[in-house]
Amino acid sequence: MNVHDTLVVGGGIGGLAAALALARAGRRTLVVEQAPRFAEIGAGLQLGPNAMRAFDRLGVLGPVLDTAVHPDRAVIRDAVTGEELTVLDLGPSFRARYGYPYVVAHRHDVLSVLIDACRAEPGIELRTGRTAVDVREGNEHAEVTFADGESLAARLLVGADGLRSQVRRLIDQEPPRFSGHVAYRGTSVRSRLGAGLAPDDVTLWIGPGIHLMQYPVRGGELYNQVAVYERPAGALEPRGDVEEFRAAFSVAHPSVREYVALIDPHRDWPVHDRDPLPTWTTAHSVLLGDAAHAMLQYLGQGACQALEDAVALAEAVSDHPHSQDRALKRYEERRIAHASRCQTVARPWGDLWHTQDPTLLALRNRVFRLRRPDDYSDLDWLYAAPTEDAA
């Protein structure tokens, strides 16, 4: 059996970013993707300054910025009353503080930038239609078996294969955790949303057991919408229910109900995450992105953290070219505590959005009303450059 230098399982944003970074660090890299073509689930993508910093390190910042929309503000509204609760100014003061902008984009557009960059890199090979069904760790390499019976071995196996990662099973056998939340996604032509929606805002509507996230993509021609509701307490089946979905949003402001009515209620995405792991590595394998730290969407950090993983992994490999063990441990040291914090913070943040407790809801809204648009103090831990990077 031929042994590959580096094998990346998973051709999403994290996997392609890792391949690009590792190839530029001198690793010959094969990327395998189970789908028949490279594609991303869902239309919209929020990219904070930490993600843009990673794109800059990858050498693709310009093309990503060209595909993105640069919103002026992020606005939180009460989903029942329609009241504007708080605004986050995303303008010059935000960019000056973090060195990069906050942008929103279509997932396919961002993925296309990474695919083009990978195809231009002579050290990268891309293959689709490869479904991993088993992963084993050997003395000298890791081995992946695919649905058609083919096996591939690699000195370094990168698990970028998402929530239900096969590579993760080398470390953790537990299933993903269903949050009780179900998402419905869709894009709408801007003109169908009416004149009341600001064209350059990211708008979040929060209410009892529900929220609706909206933002422009494709130059503002389309709006990405994600509507989420909580299933009743005790509901174990991680599937949405059309009648539950409609009933949950029946209490919402008329504008919210109009927006949600544009989303297909028959396509649902149960929301899962994972508990933090104490390690992401074995002798010959390493996890990144959702395979390592699947998190709820309430910080907008899923793709952002995967991109930071990719850059950190390649830098660790470059710093320790003759010791894979030291490189992988260095990667863990740089990334595991921060990504785990994102996992744990996202859960109560989502609970706060969805609270049905009248006292907590009133207090939440009061605190939001009091904050200034240029108060970024709660975001520094997410968006500021790590100390060693800023040096």
Q: What is the pLDDT of residue 2?
A: 82
**Confidence bin at 234 (pLDDT 50/70/90):** confident
Which pLDDT score, from 0 to 100, does residue 388 have? 58
Instruction: Check pLDDT > 80 for residue 119.
Output: yes
pLDDT of residue 390: 40
Helix (H) / strand (E) containing 350: helix 324-354
pLDDT at residue 329, as a whole number? 97
Average pLDDT over residues 23-40: 92
Q: What is the pLDDT of residue 38?
A: 83
Give the Cα separation of 81 and 286 in Å (integer). 47
Q: What secondary structure letter does DSSP report for 193?
A: G
User: What is this structure's pTM?
Assistant: 0.95
Q: pLDDT tens across 315-358, in order?
A: 999 999 999 999 999 999 999 999 999 999 999 999 999 999 99
Q: Has 298 been annotated as catalytic?
A: no
Give the confidence band of 42 by pLDDT, cuts at 50, 70, 90: low
252/255 Cα distance (integer angstroms)? 8
Is the distance from CB of 161 to CB of 9 less than 8 angstroms? Answer: yes
Distance CA 319, CA 90 (A): 35
pLDDT digits (tens, 9 = 90+) for 167-203: 999 999 999 999 999 999 999 898 888 877 877 899 9
What are the b/e assignments for 58-69, b being 16+ CB within 10 Å?
bebbebbbebbb
Q: For the residues 49-75, what does the mean pLDDT come to? A: 97
**Structure confidence by residue, pLDDT tens digits, 89-118:** 999 999 999 999 999 999 999 999 999 999
Is 157 or 40 the better-scoring residue by pLDDT?
157
Say how many CA atoms lie within 13 Å of 16 toward its Cβ: 26
Contacts of the segment 170-176: beta carbons below 8 A, 24+ positions apart: 170/135, 170/137, 170/142, 170/282, 170/285, 171/277, 171/279, 171/280, 171/281, 171/282, 171/287, 172/277, 174/274, 174/275, 176/272, 176/273, 176/274, 176/294
d(CA 315, CA 26): 11
Q: What is the pLDDT of residue 202?
A: 96
DSSP per residue, 259-325: HHTTS-TT--EEEEE-PPPS--B-SSEEE-THHHH---GGGS-HHHHHHHHHHHHHHHHHH-TT-HH
Q: Nearest to residue 311, comparing CAs of 4, 24, 11?
A: 24
Distance CA 5, CA 284 (A): 11
Q: Over the chain, what is the mean pLDDT?
A: 94
Residues 6+ apart with CB under 8 A from 310: 14, 17, 18, 20, 21, 54, 58, 288
Nearest-angstrom CA–CA distance, 32 and 36? 10
The rounded distance, in Å, linking the Cα atoms of 132 and 284 is 17
Instruction: Please name the helix (run of DSSP H) or strand (run of DSSP E) that holds residue 50, with its range, or none.
Output: helix 49-58
Determine how β-strand 3-9 pairs with β-strand 29-32: parallel
Distance, in Å, from the CA atom of 328 to the CA atom of 320, rounded to the nearest integer, reads 9
The mean per-residue pLDDT over the stretch 250-255 comes to 97
- Among candidate residues 98, 100, 215, 383, the one labeled active-site is 215
* Residue 59 pLDDT greater than 70, yes or no: yes
* All structural domains of the chain: 3-175+273-383 (3.50.50.60)
